[in-house]
């Protein structure tokens, strides 16, 4: 007998601002299960996790937590203000006093002493302290909302190993494909207010999602053809010429409603970088470069050549000097010794992780137009701001929304929209993947792969580096920086290490050869039998509809059953048979019509 779930959300409904966000959503997680919750930015993932944690109450639906089960929730933006020090916070998360010894080693593993004042923590320190708290508690259920945000690569890899060793059930939201691929055993996909579950790991999710969406498109196409046939009947059917049948009118309205709802996910991001004139072959040359911060040598004797078309990934622990290195390579800072030479004709566009260029007081439209009316300058062309906003999944009514009111994901998309509107041949990307959903990441990756210029990229996203980088420049912790050919996984292999999980690695520099498809054997036209059926089925359906109408007319007599029960039963039985036959004919007609269209399109 299967054990009951530790946590079960069922038929969760929630409306925010007059618009339904969740409509019958839910998930269940059992002992030791590891589930990832995925979906577009704004689809309600964090809200659903907050409902699971008991922070938000749904409008309808049920939340079941097994009695006695312990649960800990890691929010995107932890609030530690109620505690004086980091040690106080972590100790407060541990229910069993005999386990408080876990506080100090957990904080130490995450680079904290326990004496830090919670009032003066950076975003990364706050995140690490909150992670220490949920891990030290070792609960039955862990709810994790973007656990890798603000973490550097070594900490992400440590967290991955720690989560794998825990026996806790987990539900996690993350844009880090490698983390999801390594940890997940099931996927819950939140899309348009509802949830679908795949009881396989994240590696299978994206192909499964495409299968689901393709089936929706086939169903929508089938519905389109049925609508077309219904409209044709309404205009030209024999019965319609005499009197429009009310039932058919209602059915057509229902079909149209279903078609409106059978729409693939709400929009897609359109990313196109505007190319400037081609830069020189040598973009940047660093020779014997040194840079110190106080007594710390962050860059020691660096020699590097960045060529046109390179996609250089820069990795290292927080504080290793990644952003400083970017500034040196782009002329934003000067070395203590050595030289950095930039090539001529460089047009740089920078996307920084703090998003300092965004003015929180400006509206979305003012940010895109630089306060200059309703048009956005994109390269040599101008576009209306509403149309450009839609390319990045913003709704027209958000045009007057202040930047301060946007979510983290929306601010990330706004930064991309601003950056990609400017002509460039050198893109400087400092943690561009923060807060972006998986679909937007896919399109950003495609755009960068097709970009004609040079890319300097700082990222802690291992999968993103594997897909984008032609080489990786890694800090060794002593100030030395070593360049490795290929992506992040290639770097690990060259160092003699094995990636924890490589199934998601897709180096863009060596695209896999597509499998050869067997030649299709396609008929040029329908067979005689199919064509005959297609031509004659509408006539047969009209006859069946007329017979059905006659039986309905007889049964409309309110006294028929009392006067002649046998006649009523006969009409009812015949009507059922006719409607079943009519449904078969409609299905066959749709099948043949779709087959005919497919042959015409090939």
pLDDT at 243 over 90: no
Starting from the edge strand earliest in sequence, which strands make up the sheet with 337-342, in order? 296-307, 282-293, 337-342
Give 135-200 as a 3 state SS string.
Answer: HHHCCCEEEEECCCCCCCHHHHHHHHHHHHHCCCEEEEECCCHHHHHHHCCEEEEEECCEEEEECC
What is the average pLDDT across 513-542?
Answer: 63
Instruction: Give the C-alpha separation, 415 to 426, whole Å.
Output: 16
Query: Would you tell me how many other CB atoms lie within 10 Å of the CB of residue 192?
Result: 16
* Residue 511 domain-assigned (yes or no): no
Cα–Cα distance list, 476 to 153, 300, 413 (Å): 12, 11, 33
Check whether residue 201 and residue 216 sit in a common domain: no
Name the helix (H) or strand (E) containing 292.
strand 282-293
Collapsing DSSP to helix, strand or coil, 375 comes out as strand
What pLDDT is stored for residue 72 in this prediction? 95
Q: Which domain, by its residues, includes 464?
A: 282-494
Contact 121, 129 (CB under 8 A): yes
Check whether residue 361 and residue 315 sit in a common domain: yes
Choose the final residue of a domain: 468, 494, 520. 494
**Poorest-confidence range of 183-197, 311-325, 403-417?**
403-417
Angle 188-160-448 from CA coordinates, rounded to 5°: 75
* Residue 48 domain-assigned (yes or no): yes
User: Which long-range contacts (C-beta less than 8 Å, at least 24 apart) are formed by 125-132?
Assistant: 125/86, 126/78, 126/80, 126/150, 127/78, 127/151, 128/155, 129/78, 129/80, 129/86, 129/89, 129/90, 130/74, 130/75, 130/78, 130/80, 130/89, 131/74, 131/159, 132/86, 132/90, 132/103, 132/106, 132/107
Query: Would you tell me how many other CB atoms lie within 10 Å of the CB of residue 237?
Result: 20
Residue 519 corresponds to which tokens in the numbers above? 């030649």
Residue 346 corresponds to which tokens in the numbers above? 């460089």
**How many C-alpha atoms does 66 have within 13 Å on its Cβ side?**
15
Check whether residue 200 and residue 225 sit in a common domain: no
Query: Would you tell me how many other CB atoms lie within 10 Å of the CB of residue 545?
Result: 21
Query: For helices 438-450 and 408-420, what crossing angle results, to 10°?
Result: 20
pLDDT at 227 over 70: no
| Residues 6+ away with beta carbon under 8 Å from 187 | 35, 36, 38, 197, 198, 200, 201, 202, 204, 205, 208
Check whether residue 392 and residue 465 sit in a common domain: yes
* Residue 250 domain-assigned (yes or no): yes
Check whether residue 349 and residue 450 sit in a common domain: yes
What pLDDT is stored for residue 519 in this prediction? 37
Instruction: Give the C-alpha separation, 142 to 72, whole Å.
Output: 5
Contact 35, 172 (CB under 8 A): yes
Check whether residue 580 and residue 453 sit in a common domain: no
Name, of 114-128, 219-233, 356-370, 484-498, the range with top average pLDDT. Answer: 114-128
* Residue 273 domain-assigned (yes or no): no
**How many C-alpha atoms does 132 have within 13 Å on its Cβ side?**
30
CATH number reported for the structural domain that contains residue 395 in this entry: 3.40.50.300
pLDDT tens-digit profile of 199-209?
999 988 988 88
**Poorest-confidence range of 17-26, 370-379, 520-529, 585-594?**
520-529
Residue 583 corresponds to which tokens in the numbers above? 């449904």
Sort residue 373 into left (φ over 0), alpha (ψ -120 to 50) or beta: left
What is the pairing mode between strands 186-191 and 282-293? unpaired
Instruction: Give the C-alpha separation, 349 to 345, whole Å.
Output: 13
Check whether residue 223 and residue 332 sit in a common domain: no
Angle 563-567-570 from CA coordinates, rounded to 5°: 155
Instruction: Give the C-alpha separation, 313 to 305, whole Å.
Output: 13
* Residue 515 domain-assigned (yes or no): no
Q: What domain count does the chain have?
A: 4
Instruction: Give the C-alpha separation, 252 to 258, whole Å.
Output: 10
Check whether residue 364 and residue 397 sit in a common domain: yes
What is the average pLDDT across 455-479?
Answer: 88
Check whether residue 36 and residue 174 sit in a common domain: yes
| Residue 28 banded pLDDT, cuts 50, 70, 90 | very high
pLDDT at 253 over 70: no
Name, of 218-232, 300-314, 510-524, the range with top average pLDDT. Answer: 300-314
Predicted TM-score of the model (pTM): 0.65
pLDDT tens-digit profile of 534-584?
888 888 888 888 888 888 888 877 777 778 878 888 888 888 888 888 878
* Residue 504 domain-assigned (yes or no): no
| Residue 6 banded pLDDT, cuts 50, 70, 90 | very high
Instruction: Give the C-alpha separation, 350 to 328, whole Å.
Output: 14
Q: Is 246 exposed, middle or buried (0-12, 13-18, 19+ CB in 10 A)?
A: exposed
Going by C-alpha positions, the residue among 474, 422, 471 that lies closest to residue 310 is 471
Contact 296, 355 (CB under 8 A): no
pLDDT tens-digit profile of 176-197?
899 999 999 999 999 888 999 9
Average pLDDT of the chain, as a whole number: 81
Check whether residue 83 and residue 149 sit in a common domain: yes
Query: Which of the two residues, 244 and 567, has the higher pLDDT score?
Result: 567
What pLDDT is stored for residue 411 in this prediction? 79
pLDDT tens-digit profile of 57-85?
999 999 999 999 999 999 988 999 999 99
* Residue 517 domain-assigned (yes or no): no
Instruction: Give the C-alpha separation, 499 to 156, whole Å.
Output: 13
**How many C-alpha atoms does 365 have within 13 Å on its Cβ side?**
16
Going by C-alpha positions, the residue among 433, 422, 411, 437 that lies closest to residue 313 is 433
Choose the final residue of a domain: 164, 186, 207. 207
* Residue 351 domain-assigned (yes or no): yes
CATH number reported for the structural domain that contains residue 555 in this entry: 1.10.287
| Residue 517 banded pLDDT, cuts 50, 70, 90 | very low
The residue assigned the tokens 């400006």 is: 362
Phi then psi for 95, rounded to 5 degrees?
-75, -40
Choose the final residue of a domain: 494, 519, 546. 494
Check whether residue 409 and residue 313 sit in a common domain: yes
Query: Which of the two residues, 542 and 25, has the higher pLDDT score?
Result: 25
Check whether residue 153 and residue 186 sit in a common domain: yes
Residue 547 corresponds to which tokens in the numbers above? 């017979």
């Amino acid at each position: 007998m299967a054990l009951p779930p530790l946590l079960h959300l069922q038929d969760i409904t929630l409306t925010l601002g007059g618009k339904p966000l969740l409509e019958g959503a839910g998930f269940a997680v059992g002992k030791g299960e590891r589930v990832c919750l995925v979906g577009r930015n704004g689809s309600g993932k964090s809200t659903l996790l907050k409902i699971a944690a008991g922070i938000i109450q749904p409008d309808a639906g049920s939340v079941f937590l097994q009695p006695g089960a312990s649960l800990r929730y890691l929010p995107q933006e932890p609030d530690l203000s109620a505690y004086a020090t980091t040690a106080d916070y972590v100790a407060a998360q541990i229910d069993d006093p005999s386990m408080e010894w876990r506080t100090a080693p957990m904080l130490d593993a995450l680079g904290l002493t326990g004496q830090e004042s919670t009032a003066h923590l950076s975003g990364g320190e706050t995140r690490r302290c909150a992670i220490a708290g949920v891990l030290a508690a070792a609960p039955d259920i862990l709810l994790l909302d973007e656990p890798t945000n603000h973490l550097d690569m070594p900490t992400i890899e440590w967290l991955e190993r720690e989560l794998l060793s825990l026996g806790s059930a987990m539900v996690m939201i993350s844009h880090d494909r490698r983390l999801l691929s390594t940890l997940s055993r099931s996927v819950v996909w939140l899309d348009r207010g509802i949830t679908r579950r795949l009881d396989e790991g994240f590696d299978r999710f994206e192909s499964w999602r495409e299968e689901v969406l393709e089936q929706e498109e086939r169903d929508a196409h089938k519905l389109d053809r049925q609508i077309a046939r219904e409209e044709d009947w309404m205009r030209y059917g024999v019965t319609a010429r005499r009197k429009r049948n009310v039932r058919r009118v209602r059915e057509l309205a229902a079909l149209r409603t279903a078609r409106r709802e059978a729409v693939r996910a709400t929009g897609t991001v359109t990313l196109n970088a505007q190319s400037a004139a081609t830069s020189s072959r040598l973009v940047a040359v660093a020779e014997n470069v040194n840079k110190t911060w106080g007594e710390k040598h962050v860059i020691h004797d660096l020699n590097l050549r960045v060529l046109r078309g390179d996609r250089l990934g820069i990795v290292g622990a927080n504080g290793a000097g990644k952003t400083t290195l970017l500034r040196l390579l782009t002329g934003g800072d000067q070395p203590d010794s050595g030289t950095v030479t930039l090539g001529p004709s460089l047009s740089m566009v920078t996307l920084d992780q703090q998003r300092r260029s965004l003015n929180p007081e400006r509206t979305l439209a003012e940010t895109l137009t630089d306060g200059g009316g309703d048009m956005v300058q994109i390269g040599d062309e101008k576009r209306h701001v509403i149309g450009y906003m839609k390319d990045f999944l913003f709704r027209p009514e958000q045009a007057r929304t202040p930047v301060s009111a946007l979510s983290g994901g929306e601010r990330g998309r706004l930064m991309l929209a601003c950056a990609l509107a400017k002509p460039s041949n050198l893109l400087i990307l400092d943690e561009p993947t923060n807060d972006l959903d998986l679909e937007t990441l896919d399109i950003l990756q495609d755009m960068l792969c097709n970009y004609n210029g040079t890319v300097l990229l700082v990222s802690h996203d291992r999968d993103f580096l594997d897909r984008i980088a032609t080489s990786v420049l890694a800090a060794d912790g002593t100030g030395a920086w070593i360049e490795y050919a290929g992506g992040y996984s290639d770097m690990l292999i060259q160092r003699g290490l094995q990636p924890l999980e490589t199934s998601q690695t897709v180096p863009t520099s060596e695209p896999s050869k597509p499998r050869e498809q067997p030649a299709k054997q396609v008929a040029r036209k329908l067979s005689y039998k199919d064509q005959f059926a297609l031509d004659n089925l509408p006539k047969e359906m009209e006859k069946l509809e007329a017979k059905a109408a006659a039986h309905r007319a007889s049964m409309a007599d309110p006294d028929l059953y009392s006067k002649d029960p046998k006649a009523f039963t006969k009409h009812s039985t015949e009507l059922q048979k006719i409607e079943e036959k009519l449904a078969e004919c409609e299905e066959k007609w749709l099948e043949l019509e779709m087959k005919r269209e497919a042959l015409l399109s090939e």
